[in-house]
Amino acid sequence: MDRSAEEEPANDGRISACTGDGPRSVERFYRALVENAGDILTILDRDGLITYQSPAVREVVGASEKHLIGYSIFNLVHPDDRERLQKRFEECIRVSESSTMEIVRLPHANGTWRRMEVRARNLLADPDVAGILCCSRDVTETHRLESQLREAEQLARFGIWRWVKGEPAPQWSRGVARILGRGETQLPRGGDWYEHLVHPDDRDELLSKFLDAFETQEPVNCVTRFRADDGDYRYIKTHAYAEGDAHSEIGALVGLAEDVTEEIEAELALRANEARYRLMTEQASDIVAHYDTEARVIFISPVVESILGRAPEEFIGNPIEEAMIHPDDFPRVRSAFIECAVKGRQVQFDYRFLHADGTYVWLETTMSAARDAAGQRTTEIVGISRNVGERKRHEKELMDAREHAEAANRTKSRFLANMSHELRTPLNAIIGFSEILRMQMFGQLGHARYLEYAQLINESGALLLDLISDILDMSKIEAGKYNLHLEPVNLRSLLDSSLRLVRGRAEENGIGLTMNVAPDLMVDEIVADERALKQIMLNLLSNSIKFTPSGGKVSVSVKETTIGISIAVSDNGRGIPHDQIARLGKPFEQVATNAALSKQGTGLGLALVRSLAELHGGAMVIESEVDRGTVVTVTLPLTPHCIVPVPHMDPDERPTNDPLSNRALANLAGG
What pLDDT, on the 0 to 100 scale, is given for residue 660?
33
* Number of domains, the chain: 5
Report the interhelical angle of 389-418 vs 420-439 (nearest 10°). Answer: 40
- Whichever domain contains 100, its CATH number is 3.30.450.20
Domain assignment of residue 411, yes or no? yes
DSSP structure string for 503-539: HHHHHHTT-EEEEEE-TT----EEEEEHHHHHHHHHH
Task: Please indicate, yes or no, whether residues 366 and 412 belong to a single structural domain of this protein.
Answer: no
Q: Is 303 helix (H, G, I), strand (E, B) or coil?
A: coil
Is the Cα dihedral 408, 409, 410, 411 positive or negative? positive
Whether residues 529 and 419 share a domain: the answer is: no
Which domain-ending residue is among 114, 138, 162? 138
The pTM of the full predicted model, rounded to 2 decimals, is 0.35
The pLDDT of residue 554 is: 93
Percent helix / strand / coil, the chain, rounded to 5: 45, 25, 30
Maximum separation of any 2 CA atoms in the chain, in Å: 191
Q: What is the C-alpha to C-alpha distance for residues 129 and 45, in angstroms, rounded to an integer?
A: 10
Cα separation of 474 and 469, whole Å? Answer: 8
Q: Of 286, 194, 269, 270, which Cα lies nearest the Cα of 238?
A: 194
- Rounded to whole angstroms, how far apart are CA atoms 47 and 521? 116
pLDDT the model gives residue 11: 47
Q: Are 130 and 107 within 8 A, CB to CB?
A: no
The span from the first CA to the last CA of the chain, in angstroms, equals 166
Q: Are residues 520 and 594 in the same domain?
A: yes
Task: Mark which of 387, 408, 423 sits at the end of a domain.
Answer: 387
- Beta bridge partner(s), residue 569: 556, 632
**28 part of a folded domain:** no
88, 149: one domain:
no
492 plus 635 within the same structural domain? yes
Closest CA to 610 of 602, 601, 597, 619: 619
Residue type, 120: A
Indicate whether 669 belongs to any domain. no
Is residue 335 domain-shared with residue 320, that is, in the same domain?
yes
604 plus 502 within the same structural domain:
yes
Give the pLDDT confidence score for residue 484 in this predicted structure.
83
- Does the residue 21 lie in any domain? no
- In a shared domain, residues 492 and 550: yes
> Within this chain, do residues 129 and 229 fall inside the same structural domain, yes or no?
no
Q: Confirm whether 573 is domain-assigned.
A: yes
Burial label, 465 (beta-carbon count in 10 A; 0-12, 13-18, 19+): buried
For residue 98, which phi and psi values (nearest 5 degrees)?
-75, 155
Q: How far apart are CA 182 and CA 225, in angstroms?
A: 15
Tell me which residue of 45, 63, 387 sits closest to 54, measured CA to CA: 63
Indicate the residue among 365, 387, 409 that finishes a domain.
387
Please say whether the beta carbons of 249 and 231 come within 8 A: no
Q: Is 349 left (phi over 0), alpha (psi -120 to 50) or beta?
A: beta
Indicate whether 524 and 591 sit together in one domain: yes
Burial status of residue 175 (CB atoms within 10 A of its CB: 0-12, 13-18, 19 or more): buried
3-state secondary structure of 250: strand
Q: At what angle do helices 530-546 and 491-508 cross, to 10 degrees?
A: 30
- Say whether both 233 and 300 belong to one domain: no
The answer to whether position 8 is within a domain reads: no
Q: What local confidence, expressed as pLDDT, does residue 61 receive?
A: 87
Angstrom distance (rounded) from CA 224 to CA 613: 84
How many angstroms separate the CA atoms of 81 and 103, rounded? Answer: 8
Report yes or no on 653 lying in a domain: no
Q: How far is CA 350 from CA 344, 364, 390, 665, in A?
A: 19, 4, 13, 57
Kindly list the averaged pLDDT for each block of 10 residues, start to end, along the chain of length 671. Answer: 43 47 69 78 92 88 87 91 91 89 90 90 89 90 70 64 83 82 82 86 85 80 88 86 70 82 80 65 74 84 88 88 91 89 88 92 89 70 88 87 79 62 64 74 69 68 67 69 84 88 88 88 85 88 88 92 89 84 66 48 73 88 88 88 45 38 34 33
Main-chain phi, psi angles of 334, to 5 degrees: -65, -45
Going by C-beta distance under 8 Å and a sequence separation of 6 or more, which residues neighbour residue 137? 38, 39, 40, 116, 117
Residues 641 and 494 in one domain: yes
Distance CA 292, CA 380 (A): 5
CATH of the domain at 529: 3.30.565.10
Please say whether the beta carbons of 174 and 149 come within 8 A: no
Domain residue limits at 642: 484-646
SS3 352: strand
State residue 245's pLDDT score: 65
25 occurs within a structural domain: no
